[in-house]
Amino acid sequence: MMLAISDSLVLISNTFLDDFLGRGLYYLTNERIMIKLDTYSLTSCRIMELIGCWFVFNSGCLLVAFSIDRVNCLFWPLRCRSDGGIGIATLACSFIIVIGFI
């Protein structure tokens, strides 16, 4: 679920913020309205770049975490029961998201 959300946010942030607001709205309104968020200031440009990179980083790290979880379940099936797995998975996903900000 977290991987799907992260991948969807990559597409939404890139498509909506950059492609639609940046170029699509400009051509849709016959060059009257132009909202390019990354050209307003250096800070807004950095934030736009951070958003895209952060979601891509989260997607890759979540995929690695899920792969490690699956390998652990193959090698130690009795240790990987559904009892405590949800808590550990939630903790791992939260940790990856927080590390992405650093």
Query: Apex CA 14: angle with CA 89 and CA 23, to 5°?
Result: 170
Express each pLDDT in 32-86 by its tens digit.
Answer: 887 777 777 888 888 888 888 888 888 888 888 888 888 888 888 777 766 666 7
| Predicted pLDDT at 82 | 64
C-alpha to C-alpha distance for 8 and 12, rounded to whole angstroms = 6
What is the residue range of 34's domain?
2-101
Q: What is the mean pLDDT of residues 2-16?
A: 78
How many structural domains is the chain composed of?
1
| Predicted pLDDT at 83 | 63
Q: How many CB atoms lie within 10 A of CB 68?
A: 11
C-alpha to C-alpha distance for 58 and 50, rounded to whole angstroms = 12
